[in-house]
Structure 1
Amino acid sequence: MEMKSLNELKKAKIEPVYLMYGVNSFLIKEARKEIVNKTLSEEEKSFNLSTYDLEETPIEQVIEDAETLPFFGDKRVVVAHNASFLTAEKQKSKGKVEHQVEKLLQYIEHPASFTVLLIIAPYEKLDERKKITKVLKKQTTCIEANNFGEKEMKEWIVDYLFSHGIKMEEEAMTHLIQLVGLNLTLITNELDKLILYVGEGGNLTQESVSLLVAKTLEQNVFTLVEAVIKGDVSNALNMYQDLLRNNEEPIKILSILASQFRLIYHAKQLSSQGYGQQQIAQTLKVHPFRVKLAAQQSRAFSEQRLRSILKEIAQADYDMKTGKMDKALILQLFFLKQAH
């Protein structure tokens, strides 16, 4: 059984064996906490919660513990981290532990009624060719904890806010993701802040997101690029001055500006060659959400204009590093050149 969200996990009954895999450490931590809290009281955790690192402990020892009756309670939870034997990677375990995986296979067939076993594999992909992977995915409750795309992030936000009795407008969600990116930890921190602001039963709007969510330097530079696209040099210069007042270094601003314009240029180039957004993301090794935004921005430029801007940025970088003139002034002149 595949679980898609923490909200589903909260509603579902506790199962005897879970497989949790993926590189999203926040999701893994939250799902683990949910399973433990649903199974054990605070007092029972001292006696009936065991945690193992499979880089140091063989799986058969974990199974032995799972088959041991709980103390002073009806249930026990056994958590086994770093199940690298489920991947195609060579094990990097400290003591090069050998795992008797057949013991786990036998246990899955007849799990102890008094134990919840949680196998955690913090890897993006599992080796689907292995028998143990197939059996775990087919016969246990699987929770995939990989990083979200925009659609999955919005679904997660809706679930998270639903548990607090709060709704959020679609535009507000899009704005939040543009400001924070697709980092689940950062999104959650900002949502908690917004929940306190609007109160239970409230409705979150784009205005409340703009009011409370601080822009990162990258987002400020993204907005600068938007101003350049519109030919709004006055606004671009005002934003630039605000960044300087906040003690942001001109060379750092220029570096992020260069990165954004390179992405816009490559997105335009590859798009003209027939690449889809997902293919562009894989080729450039950046998140599809960033490619989506860059592709939208690229429509305002010809390839020739983008090449010209990249040359101007390279010249500005050279001038800054050689001390040709004041760094802040160099970038100011760059923005003035973008008037059209």
Structure 2
Amino acid sequence: MDPKKALKDIKAGKPEPVYLCFGPEKYRRQGFVQDLTEAMFEPGDKEFAVSKFDLNETSLATVLQDAETLPFMVPRKLVIASNATFFTGAKDSSKVEHNLDKLLEYMASPVDYTVIVFTVDADKLDERKKVVKALKERDAALPFLSLNPDELKEWVQRRADQAGFVFQKEAVDQIILYTSGHLQALSAEIEKISLYVGQGGTATTDVIDQLVARSTEQNVFILIEDIVQLRLDRAFVILEELLKQKEEPIKIVVLIARQFRIMLQVKELSKQGYSHPQMASQIGLHPFAVKVAEGQAKKYDTAKLGQILSQLADLDYQMKSGRIDKVLGLELFLLKLGA
């Protein structure tokens, strides 16, 4: 079921007794649970109505026992159980045993005063399991997928509207690039920007550069984008910043190689007719990062990408063997790449 449809049913007083929230977008999962809580309870009831469990530390039997216990001082209750790895094909590393047959028994005859929400940080479920099939039959398995690039831009602009400011056109792509399209990071940065530009203000690319924090991986991603677009001055400013932060040149080379490897993968998958979401799932990236990598890959043919990766492997060897100064070798590579 679509999470929006599920929330609509909940607000109409017709919730499912059990929900399973999964998918890569943790921020959207958390938002759904928050919206569900607000739809079910008055603000003063939440303290008595909501129970939370971590299934890495608590057994499924304990969760079900709490679900079946009559609510105290409220007409109904919500039980939230996180880290429900047993719904996936991943190995459960917790030392707690979970009897899934008990959950099937509960779902066959659930109590009418409790809603259980399981959450798991996984892209896919193990559909061979009876309990997963049962949840899907009830339309109670809710996927929270990464937004595609167009949806992501709309989300950013909508959040800016709600905060009372606007983004300069180029700044929308920039903030998504700087945060790798992760909604949790975007939300925090948009809040920060709204305080800086104020009501009715405009967030420009300079404001994004000034305010938005970036990881080493994101800086290298942006550095490659600048090189590809022949903005060598910007690329070397980023490199200088990384070196000032005492980042190891060999690590930067590894990250550059990773990005060119992604470009090569995207180019090959694109030839096979894969869509952005399919490529993102195959490579393990956000769809926006795939779109950017696809644009970067268009600047090179397959042979050239292979050649660049070979050069990076050689540079890595020369750095580690002391045959070239690390910083000098990295700068010479980037100049050659920009040429």
Q: TM-score range by the shorter chain?
A: 0.7 to 0.9
User: 1:25-174 maps to which residues of 2 (within 5 A)?
Assistant: 25-40=26-41, 44-52=45-53, 56-58=58-60, 62=63, 65-83=66-84, 86-87=87-88, 94-98=95-99, 99-107=101-109, 111-112=111-112, 114-128=113-127, 133=132, 136-137=135-136, 139=138, 143-158=142-157, 160-161=159-160, 163-168=162-167, 171-174=170-173
Root-mean-square deviation (Å): 3.9
2: distance between equivalents of 1:14 and 1:203? 41
1:201 Cα deviation (Å)?
5.6
Residue 301 in 1 paired to residue 293 in 2?
no
Task: Report the secondary structure of 2:125's partner residue.
Answer: coil
TM superposition shift of 1:321: 0.6
Q: 1:252 to 1:90 in 2, by over 3 A?
A: closer
**Aligned-partner SS, 1:100:** helix
Counterpart code for 2:176: I
Sequence identity (%):
32
Aligned match of 1:22: 22
Over 3 Å counting, the alpha-carbon distance change for 1:309 and 1:200 in structure 2 is same
Q: Shift of residue 70 of structure 1?
A: 2.8
Unaligned runs of 5+ in 2: none
Aligned partner of 1:276 in structure 2 is 274
- The superposition leaves residues 8-48 of structure 1 with CA deviations (integer Å, 9 ceiling, x where unpaired) of 67x94565435132144333333323333454456544433
Q: Does the CA contact (< 8 Å) of 1:228 and 1:338 recur in 2?
A: yes
1:304/1:14 CA distance change after superposition, 3 Å: same
Q: Paired residue for 1:3?
A: 3
Establish whether residue 220 from structure 1 lines up as the match of residue 193 from structure 2.
Answer: no
Q: Tell me the TM-score normalized by structure 2.
A: 0.77
Cα distance in 2 between the residues matched to 1:290 and 1:140: 31
Letter in 1 for 2:335: L
CA contact (8 A) 2:18 2:107 kept: no
The separation in 1 between residues aligned to 2:42 and 2:289, in whole angstroms, is 43
CA distance in 2, matches of 1:140, 1:14: 16
- Please say which structure displays the higher CA radius of gyration: 1
Aligned equivalents of 1:294, 1:326: Cα separation in 2: 29
Look up the match of 1:187: 186
Q: How does 1:205-284 map to 2 (within 5 A)?
A: 205-231=204-230, 233=232, 235-271=234-270, 273-278=271-276, 280-281=279-280, 284=283
After superposition, give the CA deviation of every residue in 1:97-143 in whole Å (9 maximum; x if it has no partner).
323244433445xx52x444334354433355666545545656664
Structure 1 alignment gaps of length 5 or more = none
1:46-89 CA-to-partner distances (Å, cap 9, x unmatched) read 43332345674445x65554454432334422234455565566
Change (3 A) 1:132 1:197: same
Match of 1:291 in 2: 290
TM superposition shift of 1:181: 0.5
The CA deviation at 1:193 is 1.0
Q: 1:299 to 1:126 in 2, by over 3 A?
A: closer
Moved more, 189-198 or 43-52: 43-52
- The alignment partner of 1:214 has SS state of coil
| 1:276 counterpart letter in structure 2 | Y
TM, length-normalised to structure 1? 0.77
The Cα shift of 1:327 comes to: 1.4
Most deviating of 120-129 and 216-225: 120-129
